[in-house]
Amino acid sequence: MCNNHFERFGLPVGFAIDDGLLTERYRTLVDAVRAEFARGEDDELVRALAQIDEAYRTLLDPLARAEYLFELYEAQGLSAQKGCDEPPGASLIEEMERQETLVAATNRSDPHAALSEFMTRLAERGAALDKTLHQLFADPSPHNLRAARAVVRQLQMLARCRREAEGRQAETLGVGTACRVAVAQVDWQVGSDAGLPGNEDCRAMIRGQPSINIAPKAGRGNASH
């Protein structure tokens, strides 16, 4: 029986992780369970597959991995003491300034370029915070774990801001609401199944080709844009 997600994949407990090795071991475990499953369905195998999948998703996502580490360290008595080492409201002020910059970028004469530049700065800030997070988790003392919590909160706010910026940038490309929904889906068939513009229609619109005909095709319901 595995004590934690890291042990399940034979990895050391820590924030720094080899994504390639994690994925390789995930596939090995899944293949082994599927081989057993082929011999006969079993509730235990179903649960095992679900546990492997949950562990993989948690460790693959840096923020989810960080939150999981907080749980592990707290169980070991290394409490992160849910506070932060930054001045009160510092993260909130930084977030408000980002929102102001985002609005200003949206209102520029070339909002697409301005938003691209804005997201580049977000990525640079995120990379710097990620580096700090690696350093803090390398020495998981209560003080460093407390600081790591503050960094994770900042990264979460950055992620939300980036999603909002991406949405605004999609609007500058003239992509209608219905098409944006289709683009966001993993399964591109949503375009034809839900009465939305088809896959190629959406791709063409994203490439900035407004001449594409996105009128509902025969048999489709009307979609609002």
Residue 161 falls inside a structural domain: yes
pLDDT in tens, 95-136: 889 999 999 999 999 999 999 999 999 999 999 999 999 999
**Do 164 and 125 share a domain, yes or no?**
yes
3-state helix, strand, coil in the chain (%, to 5): 70, 0, 30
Domain containing residue 102: 90-172
The position carrying tokens 């706010």 is: 157
**Do 222 and 160 share a domain, yes or no?**
no
Task: Check: CB of residue 101 under 8 Å from CB of residue 119.
Answer: no
**Do 127 and 179 share a domain, yes or no?**
no
Q: Between the CA of residue 117 and those of 128, 162, 165, 184, what are the distances in Å?
A: 17, 12, 11, 22
Per-residue confidence band for 20, with pLDDT thresholds at 50, 70 and 90: very high
Structure pTM? 0.69
Residue 81 falls inside a structural domain: no
**Do 111 and 182 share a domain, yes or no?**
no
What own/partner pairs with CB < 8 Å and gap ≥ 24 does 13-22 have?
13/69, 13/72, 14/69, 14/137, 14/138, 15/62, 15/65, 15/66, 15/69, 15/133, 15/134, 15/137, 15/138, 16/134, 16/137, 16/138, 17/59, 17/65, 19/60, 22/56, 22/59, 22/60
Of residues 200, 189, 199, 192, the one with CA closest to residue 217: 192
pLDDT in tens, 43-61: 788 888 999 999 999 999 9
Q: Residue 190: is its pLDDT beyond 80? A: no
